[in-house]
Structure 1
Amino acid sequence: MRAILVFLLIAFGFSWLVAWQIHASGGLGAQGPLTGVGLLSLMMMGPALAAIVCMALFDKGRRLAAIGLRGHGLGTVAKWTVIAWLVPVIVCALAVLATLALSGQTIGDPVAVIAAQLEAAEQDAPMDPGTLLVIQLSVGLPVGIAFNTVFLMISEELGWRGWLQPRLAGLGFWPMCLAVGVLWGLWHAPIILMGYNYPGLGWTGVAVMTVFTTLWTPYHALVRERGGLVAAAGMHGALNAVAGVALLFLSEPEWPWNGPLGVGGLVVLAAGLPLIAWARTGKKKRAA
């Protein structure tokens, strides 16, 4: 318990201090693109810093194993990382379909959305918006997934799934997922209140974000069990890259119909939880 308290104090304290700096300098978007991204990236390092400190203090002699970088074969890690990349693609696609079915809105025109974004930013398109879309889906998306995987492995996932998940495993899989999911969601509170993901929703946005992270946590936890830290980072990396692209295919991507982040996404995630339970039950039967 002492180790977990130290972890939480550092993870939340460091990240929320950075979030306070973002707020004090005018909020999200007020610092310019590079500075804003830099500050958000720095905030994401809070869980990693907490994990590193706790590894040094409490995991002497087993530091790599403590964060899921030892104990899994290379082939197993590769297999589960690929699975972890694919799951968010499937979930986000189903979330778009569920949103269209539940909201009654029409499917969006991604080419028109990209053209509107360029116009709003007062930028000249370097090429036809349709070509930009093809490049984004065929090149930008895979590169984004790969980059996010590496970055999240040394930032958020090093803390949440790398160090914290096994520390709470004694609670049992589902209570552990509830605890990690709620903590993960609440950690986002300062930037959600500044309009990140759920602009204008305030504390309602924090509550929705916490439900979102809690429903995603069993998926992350399963791949962390099977493929270690790399697979968990892969799932988070793919989710961050794909969720925004999914919004291009909705004509009105506003809460509560904002695709993976809205009601459609929550419904799909909840519907998939029995598959997580089945996958873990199958593993236990094979082990017996």
Structure 2
Amino acid sequence: MSLFPAAAPAASSGSLTTADLRRVALFLVLATAVSTGLSVPLATGRLPLTAVGLVVPLAQLSPLLAALLVRRRDEPWRRSLALTVPSWAALGVAGLGAIAAFVLVPLARILIGLGAGAPPAADAAPVLALVLAVPMVFAMQAAFAIGEETGWRGWLHRELAPLGFWSMSLVIGMMWALWHLPIVFALGLAPREAVTYLGTIVAVAPLLSALREISGTAWAAVIGHGLFSSARVAIEQNVLGTVDPALAWLLDLSSWALWIAVGWMVLRVAGGIGPVPDPQPRARRGLSVRRLGA
């Protein structure tokens, strides 16, 4: 038995129908409307910024809710959202790949920074404290990420698959960044911080899509998202001190290039960029749900 599900021929570019595009647009409008509605009270001062710990997890549910509303009804919702697991072995390998990526890229960023003269952090947390805290933060962040990843790398990943992997993953990344804009404004991030935050979201999107691609399930992206918000943050924020703007840009651009390169490497190591076939292909591809035993 092969470790990874057999790859299917890549979908032809530009084969999205008008109905597909309308469904995708409605998904984005619904998800962004919810995140905007939840962010406005923070932005206007009706809620204190300390409420962000409640607002953000609620906003993270909006991609899931939007996908459930716009999905086709000709297959089970778990398949629509890529919550089935075609191969536990593939998911395990994707999980190991995610751990490696979300540890090594931040470490590479630190090495680049130290090599360029960045100072070490003056108030870094003890290593033991970080080692103990990261698993707990990961579990919490991964649980919150389910709402996002079932929408972005679950439902939307398959809907945009006809664009080809790289176009699909970067379009999702840009939509994902757009969805984050309301909370960025609500938190009052400075322009420089906002660019770093949103640029990193776009750059890491192909890696999360690659994890979903090689495993055939959104659960791999959930794992990656949890590591992105836990292990990466712990490493990047506890080693280097404050750097000047020029070095900050160098670190950002280097990290963005590394995220994209690692996404490419994950695909290549896993056997190429051919998409893993869906456990239940969509009805529009000419296959009957009932005939496939759904």
Q: TM-score, normalised by structure 2?
A: 0.76
Deviation of 1:46 (Å): 1.5
Q: 86-95 or 160-169, which moves further after superposition? A: 86-95
Structure with a larger share of its residues in helix:
1
1:211 matched to 2:199: yes
- Does residue 1:235 correspond to 2:224, yes or no? yes
Describe the shift of the 1:259–1:41 C-alpha distance in structure 2 as closer, same or farther (beyond 3 A). Answer: farther
Tell me the SS of whatever aligns to 1:262.
helix
Task: Sort the Cα spacing of 1:60 and 1:193 in 2 relative to 1 into closer, same or farther, 3 A.
Answer: same
Structure 2 residue aligned with 1:182? 174
Spell out the pairing of 1:51-70 with structure 2 (5 A cutoff). 51-55=67-71, 58-70=72-84
1:228-253 C-alpha deviation (Å, 9 max, x unpaired): 11110110110101232121101216
Other-structure match for 1:151: 144
Letter in 2 for 1:134: L
- Deviation for aligned residue 1:13: 0.5
**What is the CA-CA distance between 1:106 and the residue it aligns to?**
2.1
1:108 equivalenced with 2:108 (yes/no): no
Residue pair 2:208, 2:221 contacting (<8 A) in 1 also: yes
Percent identity, please. 22
Structure 2 unpaired stretches of 5+: 1-20, 278-294
Deviations 1:27-58 (Å, cap 9, x if unpaired)?
7xx343xx320012112221121122223xx1
* Deviation of the 1:270 alpha carbon: 4.2
Confirm or deny that 1:142 pairs with 2:135: yes
Indicate the residue corresponding to 2:6 in structure 1: none
Query: What is the distance in 2 between the residues matched to 1:2 and 1:156?
Result: 20
**Residues 83-119 of structure 1, C-alpha deviations (whole Å, 9 max, x = no match):** 22331111111112122234x212224xx344xxxxx
Amino acid of the residue matched to residue 160 of structure 2? L
2:113 to 94, 99, 121: 99
1:160 corresponds to which residue? 152
| Residue in structure 2 matched with residue 23 of structure 1 by the alignment | 43
Query: How many angstroms does 1:223 deviate by?
Result: 0.6
Partner of 1:3: 23
Q: State whether residues 109 and 255 of structure 2, in contact with CA within 8 Å, keep that contact through their aligned partners in structure 1.
A: yes
Question: By how many angstroms is 1:279 displaced?
Answer: 3.6
Deviations 1:104-149 (A, max 9, x none): 212224xx344xxxxxxxxxxxxxxx4xx412x2221012112222
What amino acid does structure 1 have at the position aligned with 2:173? G
In structure 2, how many angstroms separate the alpha carbons of the residues matched to 1:265 and 1:64? Answer: 34
For 2:183 and 2:109, how far apart are their aligned partners in 1?
A: 24
Query: Does structure 2 retain, via aligned residues, the 8 Å contact 1:256–1:263?
Result: no
- CA distance, structure 2, for counterparts of residue 261 and residue 7 of structure 1: 34
- Count residues in correspondence: 255
Higher RCO (CA < 8 A, seq sep 6+): 2
Which residue number in structure 2 is paired with residue 87 of structure 1?
101
Q: CA RMSD for the aligned pairs?
A: 3.0
